[in-house]
Amino acid sequence: MKLVQDQLTVQNFINGDFEQHQEASIDVISPLDGGSISRVPISTKKQLDKAVKSASTAFVKWSQLTLKERVQVFFRYRNLLEENIEELSNLIRLENGKTFGEAKAEVEKGIELCEFAVSLPQIVCNEIQEVSKGVACKIEKKPLGVVASITPFNFPNMVPHWTIPNALVLGNTMIMKPSEQVPLSVMKIAQLLKEAGLPQGVFNVINGSKEVVESICDHPDIKAVTFVGSTTVAKIVYQKATSNLKRCLALGGAKNHLIVLPDANTEMTASNVVASMSGCAGQRCMAASVMVGVDKIDHIIDKMVEEAKAIIPGENLGTVISAEAKERIERYITEAEQAGANVILDGRNVVVKGGETGFYVGPTILDHVTTDMSVAKEEIFGPVISIIRAKDLDQAIKIENGSNYGNAAAVFTQNGGLAKQVIERASAGMVGVNIGVPVPREPFSFGGWNESKFGVGDITGKSSIEFWTQSKKTTTKWNKEDKTNWMS
Ligand code: NAD
């Protein structure tokens, strides 16, 4: 499917309309060939003010609809995602560089997120109790008002769907700030929400980078901010938003450890570890980054190398996001090599026929990495796995616990008792047993620990209901005896 110019135009979406922009803009580069595919506006504070004003006005009516009324829009929207899945997947592929299959899986996950949102009327039931004769206490979940969602480059379609359906169905109105590296997918999302009948002003898109994020955190009429991106920026956003007395949930980077025990099933472990480290070119916050191999696991490593060799950049492996990212990832590999790691599969300097100018890095396996090396400590965000050897499970868990991050951890074994030890002692919010990418499916919520998440609760699933609402407690008395103490 060939995308046409209209599908590649990036504009702000305010009060139900796409807006022509005169302000400064920057190139959107496709990582598939390094060429410019569009320009993204760098919005000013004035444009943010306009979007917040439209969201505040829309909130009055939208928040007064019942949950059951609001979900009708999302039934239609969910179906539109399905009908437009090919175009949505092509947009993701063009702006992010992942394979078509990975892009499609991302949209499918977005659909699942909408399916959770349309089930909210079955979950969000208010509570009421007659606490003494004629006196009732009621607790209701009420929306917050205008909320903001700031998203990263690695899932241009799915991560926006972590917040849009739940926040809006629960009665909020939203300002979305997509990554300036991948703004096209959110344009299509805005168009489909409009087509589904979402009232004007309920969803608004403001493009830009650092400056507009800062203005969002400072804006007095924005009640809550969610952020997904690197830990460095998550800390800045969390501090700024909360110092302005806003509710904030900021998800950061990751350094996920997979512990492989010698009794693990060889084929299954090798294919899961390799799929985890190389899927989406290693640019998943749930990707395997360190494999802690306990005792004798060379047979598993041999199988991993065999599996990884079948992953061919440009065929079943997409690009990384930018020339800078490619340079950074290759620098990490070189640093590890110089520090004494054994590069048993080298993804540097790959040449892709027909994709010579694309930002490709091949799957890379580094063995005998030590905990002091940069590849063992820092987020690489590329298709690279660093193998650290451990003498026993205690040492392996200690290595996992030593990371500043805490998104995911996993164990590969056939021994339930040993797996349980990892489940209990891993310092991570999402743990897998014989699963390389332990993303919880809906309605289970998504969120890490330590420097992978700042704020209370998780961003999806049931946990997000608390984030997007505030509770109103009402006590009513309808008995006739006016002297009766209501407490009695
Ligand atoms: P990023 O932090 O560079 O950018 C994220 C967003 O912040 C973008 O919208 C960007 O415009 C904005 N931004 C960038 N610099 C800023 C600054 N100095 N001040 C204010 N705003 C700024 O992240 P990225 O490179 O787009 O995405 C990759 C990162 O996201 C990785 O670290 C990855 O682990 C993380 N991530 C985490 C999760 C999770 O669930 N924890 C999910 C997806 C991605």
* Statement: residue 485 has pLDDT above 90: no
Question: Is 443 inside any structural domain?
Answer: no
Question: Is 154 inside any structural domain?
Answer: yes
Residues 97 and 224 reside in one and the same domain: yes
Residue 45 to residue 214: CA distance in whole angstroms:
10
Question: Is 440 inside any structural domain?
Answer: no
Residues 214 and 299 reside in one and the same domain: no
Q: Could you give the angle at which helices 184-195 and 67-83 cross, rounded to 10 degrees?
A: 120
As given in the structure block, the two tokens for residue 4 are 């046409």
Strand (E) or helix (H) holding 453: strand 453-454
Tell me, what CATH number does 278's domain have? Answer: 3.40.309.10
How many distinct structural domains can be found in the chain? 2
Residues 241 and 151 reside in one and the same domain: yes
Question: Is 445 inside any structural domain?
Answer: no
* Statement: residue 160 has pLDDT above 50: yes
**Residue 236 CA, ligand 1 centroid: distance in Å:** 11
Residue 177: how many CB atoms within 10 A of its CB?
Answer: 26
The CA distances from residue 77 to 84, 92, 460, in Å, are 10, 18, 18
Q: Which of 212, 230, 240, 321, when mutated, tests ligand 1's pocket best, judged by the most ligand atoms within 8 Å of its CB?
A: 230
* Range(s) of the domain holding residue 223: 5-252+452-472
Residue 254 to residue 287: CA distance in whole angstroms:
8
Whether omega for the bond prior to residue 121 falls within 30 degrees of 0, making it cis, is no
Q: Which of 214, 228, 276, 407, when mutated, tests ligand 1's pocket best, judged by the most ligand atoms within 8 Å of its CB?
A: 228
Residues 285 and 393 reside in one and the same domain: yes
Atom 14, ligand 1: residue with shortest CA distance: 210
Task: Give the 3-state secondary structure of residue 196.
Answer: coil
Are 253 and 184 contacting, i.e. CB atoms less than 8 angstroms apart?
A: no
Residues 236 and 298 reside in one and the same domain: no
Residues 239 and 263 reside in one and the same domain: no
Question: Is 441 inside any structural domain?
Answer: no
Residue 481: what pLDDT? 66
Residues 159 and 285 reside in one and the same domain: no
Residue 488: what pLDDT? 46
Q: What is the pLDDT of residues 13-39, one digit of tens each?
A: 999 999 987 778 999 999 999 999 999
Question: Is 481 inside any structural domain?
Answer: no
Residues 124 and 235 reside in one and the same domain: yes
Residues 231 and 377 reside in one and the same domain: no
Q: Which of 109, 159, 163, 179, when mutated, tests ligand 1's pocket best, judged by the most ligand atoms within 8 Å of its CB?
A: 179
Residue 124 to residue 170: CA distance in whole angstroms:
9
Q: What is the pTM of this model?
A: 0.97
Residues 272 and 204 reside in one and the same domain: no
Residue with tokens 């995911």: 408
Q: Is 285 noted as a catalytic residue in this protein?
A: yes
Residues 269 and 248 reside in one and the same domain: no
The binding-site residues of ligand 1, defined as CB within 6 angstroms of any ligand atom, are 150-154, 159, 177, 179-180, 209-210, 213, 228-230, 233, 236, 251-254, 285, 379, 381, 407, 448, 452
* Residues 389, 395, 396, 400, Cα dihedral to 10°: -120
Tell me, what CATH number does 57's domain have? Answer: 3.40.605.10
As given in the structure block, the two tokens for residue 87 are 């175009």
Residue 51 to residue 94: CA distance in whole angstroms:
28
Q: 3-state SS string over 290-334?
A: EEEEECCCHHHHHHHHHHHHCCCECCCECCCCCHHHHHHHHHHHH
Per-residue pLDDT band at 1 (split at 50, 70, 90): low
* Statement: residue 424 has pLDDT above 90: yes
Residues 382 and 240 reside in one and the same domain: no
Which atom, in ligand 1's list, is nearest to the CA of 180? 11
Which residue type sits at 44?
Answer: T
Residue 482: what pLDDT? 62
Q: Name the average pLDDT for the chain.
A: 96
